[in-house]
Chains A and B, each alone.
Chain A
Amino acid sequence: MLERTIAILEEYVEDEITEDSALIDDLGLSSLEVIRIVAAFEDEFDIEVPDRVIPTLRTVGDIVKYLEENVEE
C-alpha cells in the first residue's frame, strides 16, 4: 500500500517521499492540494473519504494507515 500511495503522490509533488513525510511541511503541498490528492485516492481505490477525515491525514503514513483500514483488497 505504501508503494501505491507514493506512486500517486509523485504525480502531485513537485525534490524523497517516505512514510514519515509530512504532506504540507516536507512535501510542500498546500491544504487545497492535499484535498485534491484525497480525491485522487478516492478515484483510485473507489472509496469515499469523509471531508472530516482530511485534517487528520498529515503524513504519508497517515494516508497508508487510512487506506489499509478502509480499502477492501
Chain B
Amino acid sequence: MKNKEYPLYDIAPKVSSISEVLEIKADTMPDKTAFRYRKGRDNVEEKTYGEVYDEVRKAASYVEKTYGKGNHIAIIGENSYEWLIAYFATVTSGNVAVPIDKELPADEVKWLIEKADVSVAFISKSYSDLIEGVEGLKSMTFKKLQDAEAEGDADYKLAVPKGEDPVCIIFTSGTSGKSKGVVLSHSNLAAEINGASSMFDPEGERTFVVLPFHHAFGLNVAVLMAYNYGVSIFLNKSLKRVKEDMLLAKPDIVMLVPLFIEVFYKQIMTNIKKDGKMKQLKKGIRLSRFLLKLGVDKRREIFKEIHEVFGGNLKYIISGGAHIDPFYVKVFRDFGIEILNGYGTSECSPCVAINRNYFKKDGSVGQVIPGTEVRISSEGEVQFKGPVNMLGYYKDPEVTAEVLKDGWYCTGDIGYVDDDGFLFLTGRMKNLIILSNGENISPEEIENDFHVDEAVNEVLVYEKDNVIVAEIFPEEEYMGNNEYFEELMKKVNEGRPVYKQVARVVLRDTEFIKNTSKKIVRYKNIPQK
C-alpha cells in the first residue's frame, strides 16, 4: 500500500462510556481472551471478556453498596489485573477514579489524596503503607475487593453516566512545581477511544502493556482502546520481567515510550556485536532494502533473530509520551517493525495525533484524530480543540484558564502543520522537562528542594543525556566543596522515584545569566544539545 491518504478505519465499535465497552465485548465475544498475565514465576493466567464483565459487575455492585456514588477513589499499585478490576468497578459504579503513582513518597501521595478530595482508596498490599495515617480515608486492598466480589450482585446493571460526568482525575507534573489533577469526562474517554481507533488498525490479535496505568497513555490507549478493539492484552506486572513476558506474550503491537525503544535497540546491538554478526546485519539491511524496491518484503525472515526478542510477531510499536529520535524509526523499519509516532498530553485524554499504518511521515507526530482541530498560534504554539479536551484542572480554575482558552487547549509545544495535515514539533515554550520514559519533571519542584539549603545561592535544574542535572552557584564559603553538594544531592533524592532523582551536581563559580528583573533566564544558561 502506498504512503498516501486513505479512509478512516471502522473496525471497533463506537462507544459512549466504559460501561458500554465492557457490555459490548461481553455480548459479542464472551469466550475470547481479554487479559493474560503472569501468575507466580512460571504460570500464565487468562481472563475472557465474559469473565471480566462478570467480575466487574460484582465488584461495582459491592463498591456502590459499600461506598455509594460520587466518591473520588484512589487506585494505587503495580500494574495488574486486580488494579484494572478496581478501576472498572470504580468508573462503572458512578464513582471517579484517581490513579496515583505508586513510586511517589508517602507525603506526596497524601498530598494528592487531599488535593483530589479522595475518600476511598483501593491499594495493592505491597504499597498499603503509603496511605497509613491519612485521616478519614476508607481503604481496601485489591485482594479484599476481589474477595468481596462474592457479596456482589452478578446481575448488577453498570452505571450509565452522562457524557459530561467526570470519570477520572489524572495527575500531571506542573510547571509551577506541584502536580495538577486533570479531570477527564466519560465523553473525553469515549472520544479518545473512538477517534484514535479510527486512525489505526492493530492488524493482529495480541498486545502487550508495560506502561504504568496511572498514566493516561498507559491506561486510556494501551488498555482501554485495545480492549475496545477486542484483542488479547498481556499485562506486564514488573519492569524486571519485560523481556521474559514479551516472549510469553508474542505481541503483534505494543505501546511504548521512547526509552523502552532505545533500551531494546541497545540490547539488540549488544547481542549482535557479542556474536560477531555486525557485518551480517549490514549485509541483511542492504539486501532487504534492495528486495523492498522490487516489492518483495523478506525483513521478517532476514532479521528473524531480532524479531524473536519481541516474541516473533511484532509489527507495530506506537510511540508516545516523549520525543523519539527518527533514527530509531528508520532502523526498526529496516528490521521490519514499524514505529508509529504519536502525540499525546493528559489534558487531551491523551492521544490527539498519530501516524497511520499506511500514511506516515518520519519526524512527524502524525495527523490529528477525527473530531479534533489543531491550530498554530501567532507565537507558534500548538493548540487543540475537540471532544478529547479535559474538563479542567481539579479545583484550579486559574491554571485551567491559562491553558484552556475559548475551547482551545494550549500545549506549550511549538510546531507546525504541513500541507497534508501532519503535525511536526520543534520545541517547547514551557520549562517542563520531558524524559524519554515519558515522565514530566518540573525543574522548579527540584530547585525548591535545593534552595532551602543554606549553601545554595542559585540553582538551575535541567536534563542532559536523559538524566537530571542540578547546576549550583554556591554561597561563597561552600565554593568548590563537592563533597557537601554530593551529600545534599542524596538528601534531595531521598524517597524520590528514580525518574525524579538528580543524577549529577555541577558547581559553577559565576552567577547565572539573568534578565532585567533579575530572574534567571533558563534557556540562556542551559547547555545546548
A interface vs B, CB < 8 Å? 14, 22, 24-25, 30-36, 38-39, 42, 49-52, 54-55, 58
Contacts and interface: CB of A to CB of B under 8 A. Distances in A.
Contact of A51 (B78, B263, B503): B78
Given A31-B437, A33-B263, A55-B501, A39 B241 contact: yes
Interface in B244-276: 259-260, 262-263, 266, 270
B19 to A, nearest CB: 32
Contacts of A38: 240
Contacts of A42: 240
B263 A55 contact: no
A55 B78 contact: no
Contacts of B503: 22, 24-25
Interface string B489-501: 0000100111101
Contacts of B270: 14
Contacts of A24: 467, 503
A18 to B, nearest CB: 16
A25 to B, nearest CB: 5
Contacts of A52: 103, 126-127
Nearest to A34: B498
B28 interface: no
By secondary structure, the B interface counts as helix
A25 B260 contact: no
B239 interface: yes
Contacts of A35: 239-240
B276 to A, nearest CB: 17
Given A25-B467, A30-B262, A32-B260, A55 B496 contact: yes
Contact of A31 (B238, B493, B499): B499
Contacts of B499: 31
Contacts of A54: 498
Contact of B263 (A25, A30, A39, A58): A30
Given A32-B263, A36-B242, A42-B240, 8 more contacts: A22-B503, A24-B503, A32-B259, A36-B239, A36-B243, A38-B240, A52-B127, A58-B501
14 contacts: A14-B266, A14-B270, A24-B503, A25-B504, A30-B263, A32-B260, A33-B266, A34-B498, A35-B240, A38-B240, A49-B240, A50-B126, A52-B126, A55-B103
